[in-house]
Chain A
Amino acid sequence: MPDIIIRIGVLLLVSLLVALGVWSGRRFVEAQRRKVLAASPLDSRETFANEETSSATSPVRILAFSSKDCKQCHLLQAPALQRVLQQHGDTVAVVEIDAVASPELTQQYHILTVPSTVILDARGQAHAVNYGFANTQRLLQQVDAVLGQVNAVLTQA
């Protein structure tokens, strides 16, 4: 009889440690995300000067962090971003960033993994950060949220 109590105790202890680990991991990721969202916008013209896009004029920019050997980036994230562009090509620009080659941007946006995507408005203010693969639906929701805010400001003015 005491044997099963010991086993229940061990299982509870293991579960408690897992829960503690999960909780602290989540807290860490959320803290990183808050830092990105709270940061004041970078001067995007300067930062992305070497990007040959006209993205600075787009109401929404998606920074897509990837690396050469990131399978998920090429297999999933690139097609998902492509679908976002198919629906919102006139308002959304995607800026591809090699996380390995641009350590200063990786640090600025607290990128923990690739693929990661950061949704910026026209001023360069971050509105959403996705660590890991973000599917089309999620990206579209985040883009719509930014566009909704832009439209709200325009109607007020």
Chain B
Amino acid sequence: MESSSLTFTHAPRVDTHLAKFSQGSVVVLTALAFLFFQPVIVLIAAIFMTLSALFPEASPFRLLYRGIVIPLHLWKPRLIEDDPAPHRFAQGVGAAFLIAASIVLFLTKATPLGWTLDLIVFVLAAINLTTGFCAGCLVYYYLGRAGLLPRVRYEGGFHWRGI
């Protein structure tokens, strides 16, 4: 009985304010890059998002959030039940777009394509920031359904009815 209640108190949790901070930063970086025609800002955003996706502990957004936002009491952490995996995957999708944008902007003449990729990330991050709709997570769930990502393992199916 105790062990079962323990497993349920350890639901996966996500700090939504950290997520919002990351999304807000991406929105600002991609917008500034486009406004001032600075591919280097796209590259910085690409590196930040790649780090966030691959090494969440070393995410620059997280370091800024923990190092500046929290100590200055600008925002408090808000932990909610959620699965961090799709959000991490979504950051990876954003990173892939920004890496592609950086390559296009630095190495080719197809600047409109590079800025379009930059603005796609701007739009998706803005939608996630304002509505909580995470397009990358949707991709994650569809890939999971198609069997391309490891499927969720859960024991005994739906077992709440027995209570």
Q: Which residues of A contact B (CB under 8 A)?
A: 3-4, 7-8, 10-11, 14-15, 18, 21-22, 25-26, 53, 66, 69-72, 74-76, 78-83, 85-86, 89, 94, 96, 133, 135-136
Contact = CB atoms under 8 A, between A and B. Distances in A.
A71 B152 contact: yes
Contacts of A72: 83, 141
B34 A7 contact: yes
Interface size grouping (class) on chain B: 20 to 34
A149 B5 CA distance: 30
Given A82-B160, A94-B161, A75 B122 contact: no
A76 B119 contact: no
Q: Is the interface of A mostly helix, strand, loop or mixed?
A: helix
Contacts of B141: 70-72
Given A74-B154, A76-B81, A22 B8 contact: no
Q: Find the residue from B8, B12, B122 having the highest chain A CB count within 10 A.
A: B8
B131 A53 contact: no
Given A18-B126, A96-B160, 17 more contacts: A4-B35, A10-B34, A15-B126, A26-B131, A69-B144, A72-B141, A74-B152, A74-B157, A79-B8, A79-B81, A80-B81, A82-B8, A85-B160, A86-B8, A135-B82, A136-B11, A136-B81
B126 A76 contact: no
Contacts of B37: 3, 7
